């Protein structure tokens, strides 16, 4: 009979343990919910308090865990809960690493333990150890957190010299993010990370417009299905970077501004907004005053401008960027239509160029023989490439865009010509050499994903 009673007590103890740990798990889950869904219970004006409020909630939850520590200090589940609680903070925690390392030692099949330990190594800057944790968790059990975390780690590892190898790595990162979404199509975080993977692929593999569209669709899906994602400053920032590259300036400014409002301590977002406004100020001013070139000098410059400057474009064998073969007709800047101008070339003299701070394109202004000034944005230029005031530039089949930008109390209205590579230009009668071009490398994610 005594033996039976012992079994009962043991069973009761196990039930109590389970109840205790379940209550503590709910407290830790609530802590994450408080952090991730902060703006469901607070207004954006409270954004500056968020980090402090989360730290206070973490301290309260830790206190509750401490009360039970003597009972459960050798329980893998308890150590996982403690590690997860400390992991809610944005910075690395030595105590969290120790708890989680002990948890997975005691219970090597603890997938959540490996994933959280991987996050700690990520915060510590040890990406190799983070990758090992996420890979290990993934091998135990295919899960969305490991998949999307591996996708991020692959993109953050230092680039390899072999371009093919690097490109393979980015492709794999997109595939892992896709798999994470397939495991749970209602998870906004997975959609957001898929958007980041597409952006990374867009900027490292020739800027295929389809990838840019896929990134925007993934971000839109994240916002649609998950309120927390629509309040994620990183999403707004990363999407704004893409908008800026696509010359959708109003959307880019709104995105940077939103990111700064949701995370007031994040200097980069505020800085990008400021830099872009400054860039638009400069561009519109320089177009208006034709690069401040004095009238007499401008007339002198333009007097040497003739159709002979068309160089290779005047040959019947000239192959245009669109694939068309045949000579191009010179066309004045004011006669160019919006969009693609097939069969014609714009021709002018450089009157200004802009320093590089916060811009994604080499920007210069050119004036044609009618003294019309237009701004030209050249993408994927090597650092060493540029044009000088007085150079003659020919743009085959120019791509013209009209900008009408309004942001806060500022508005801008101007036309520009977009050139996707310096190799498309003829400068002083010559084609540009291969080393004029470099792949666009845009910092699209300066915070943790």
- What mean pLDDT is predicted for residues 92-99? 96
CA distance 9 to 15: 10
Distances (CA, A) of 46 to 40, 42, 271: 11, 6, 21
> Is the pLDDT assigned to residue 445 strictly greater than 50?
no
Longest CA span, the chain: 113
Q: What is the pLDDT of residue 8?
A: 45
| Residue 371 scores a pLDDT above 50 | yes
Which residue(s) pair with 340 in the sheet? 399
**Pair 226, 140 in one domain:** yes
Domain span at 424: 292-436
User: Looking at the structure, do residues 129 and 204 belong to the same domain, yes or no?
Assistant: yes
Q: Are residues 319 and 262 in the same domain?
A: no
Q: Are 244 and 251 in contact (CB under 8 A)?
A: no
On whether residue 247 sits in a domain, the answer given is yes
**Based on the domain organization, do 65 and 147 belong to the same domain?**
yes
Q: By percentage, how much of the chain surpasses pLDDT 70?
A: 92
The pTM of this model reads 0.86
pLDDT, tens digit, 9 for 90 and up, residues 261-278: 999 999 999 999 999 999
**Which of 345-371 are b and which e, b meaning 16 or more Cβ less than 10 Å from the residue's Cβ?**
bbbbbbbbbbeeeebbbbbbbbbbbee
Query: In this structure, is residue 2 part of a structural domain?
Result: no
CB 17 within 8 A of CB 72: yes
The pLDDT score that the predictor gives to residue 1 is: 37
The CATH number for 231's domain is 1.25.40.10
Token output for 314: 């005047």
Angle (nearest 5°) at CA 300 between 307 and 426:
35
| CATH number of the domain encompassing residue 413 | 2.40.50.550
**Pick from 215, 247, 279: which residue ends a domain?**
279
Q: Which of 181-185, 227-231, 305-309 has the highest mean pLDDT?
A: 181-185
329 beta partners = 344
448 lies in some domain: no
Instruction: Encode burial over 35-69: b for 16+ CB neighbours within 10 A, e otherwise.
Output: bbebbeeeeeeebeebbeebeebbeebbeebeebe
> Domain count of the chain?
2
Q: Which of 222, 250, 279 is the last residue of a domain?
A: 279
Confidence at residue 358, expressed as pLDDT on a 0 to 100 scale: 58
- Predicted confidence at residue 356, as pLDDT, reads 63
Judge if 217 and 343 occupy the same domain. Answer: no
The answer as to whether 413 is a domain residue is yes
In this structure, are 240 and 304 located in the same domain?
no
Q: How far apart are CA 407 and CA 64, in angstroms?
A: 47
At 26-41, the pLDDT tens digits run 999 999 999 988 988 8
Mean pLDDT value of segment 72-82: 90
- Answer yes or no: do 238 and 364 share one domain: no
- Assess if residue 14 is contained within a domain: no
Q: Does the residue 445 lie in any domain?
A: no
Q: Which of 279, 301, 329 is the last residue of a domain?
A: 279
Give Cα 116 to chain centroid, integer Å. 24
Q: What is the pLDDT of residue 425?
A: 96
Q: Quick one: pLDDT band at residue 443, thresholds 50, 70, 90? A: very low
More confident residue, 382 or 15: 382
Does residue 12 lie in a domain region? no
**C-alpha to C-alpha distance for 23 and 242, rounded to whole angstroms:** 43
315 found inside a domain: yes
pLDDT at 74 over 90: no
Average pLDDT of the chain to the nearest whole number: 90
Q: Are residues 114 and 213 in the same domain?
A: yes
Q: 209 with 321, same domain? A: no
Two structure tokens written together for 348: 């002018």
Same domain, 254 and 145: yes
- What's the pLDDT tens digit per position in 157-204? 888 777 788 888 999 999 999 999 999 999 999 999 999 999 999 988
Q: Examine the domain organization and report whether 394 and 275 are in the same domain.
A: no
Cα–Cα distance measured from residue 173 to residue 171, given in angstroms and rounded to the nearest whole number: 5
> Is there a single domain that holds both residue 249 and residue 137?
yes
């Amino acid at each position: 009979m005594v033996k039976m009673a012992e079994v009962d007590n043991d069973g009761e103890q196990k039930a109590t343990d389970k109840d205790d740990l379940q209550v503590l798990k709910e407290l830790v889950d609530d802590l994450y919910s408080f952090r991730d869904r902060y703006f469901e219970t607070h207004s954006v004006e409270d954004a500056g308090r968020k980090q402090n409020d989360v730290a206070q909630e973490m301290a309260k939850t830790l206190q509750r865990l401490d009360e039970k520590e003597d009972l459960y200090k050798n329980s893998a589940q308890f150590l996982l809960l403690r590690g997860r609680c400390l992991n809610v903070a944005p910075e690395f925690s030595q105590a969290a690493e120790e708890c989680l390392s002990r948890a997975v030692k005691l219970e090597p099949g603890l997938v959540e333990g490996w994933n959280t330990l991987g996050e700690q190594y990520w915060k510590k800057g040890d990406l190799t150890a983070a990758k090992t944790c996420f890979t290990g968790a993934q091998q135990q059990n295919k899960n969305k957190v490991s998949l999307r975390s591996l996708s991020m780690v692959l993109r953050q590892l230092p680039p390899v010299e072999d371009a093919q190898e690097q490109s393979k790595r980015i492709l794999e990162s997109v595939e892992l993010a896709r798999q994470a979404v397939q495991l749970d199509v209602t998870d906004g975080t997975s959609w957001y990370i898929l958007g980041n993977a597409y952006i990374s692929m867009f900027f490292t593999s020739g800027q295929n417009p389809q990838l840019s569209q896929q990134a925007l669709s993934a971000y839109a899906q994240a916002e649609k299905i998950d309120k927390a994602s629509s309040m994620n400053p990183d999403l707004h920032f990363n999407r704004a970077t893409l908008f800026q590259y696509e010359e959708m300036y109003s959307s880019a400014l709104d995105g940077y501004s939103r990111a700064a409002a949701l995370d007031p301590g994040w200097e980069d977002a505020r800085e990008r907004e400021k830099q872009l406004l400054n860039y638009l100020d400069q561009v519109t001013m320089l177009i208006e005053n034709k690069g401040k070139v004095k009238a007499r000098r401008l007339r002198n410059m333009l007097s040497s401008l003739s159709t002979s400057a068309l160089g290779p474009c005047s040959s019947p064998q000239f192959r245009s960027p669109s694939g068309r073969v045949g000579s191009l007709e010179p066309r004045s800047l004011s006669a160019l239509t919006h969009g693609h101008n097939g069969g014609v070339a714009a021709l002018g003299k450089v009157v200004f160029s802009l320093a590089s701070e916060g811009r994604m394109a080499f920007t210069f202004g050119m004036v044609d023989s009618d003294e019309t000034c237009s701004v030209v944005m050249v993408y994927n230029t090597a650092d060493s490439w540029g044009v000088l005031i007085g150079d003659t530039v020919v743009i085959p089949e120019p791509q013209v865009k009209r900008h009408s930008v309004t942001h806060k109390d500022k508005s801008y209205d101007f036309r520009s010509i977009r050139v996707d590579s310096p190799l498309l230009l003829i400068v002083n009668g010559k084609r540009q050499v291969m080393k004029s071009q470099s792949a666009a490398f845009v910092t699209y994610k300066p915070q943790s994903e």
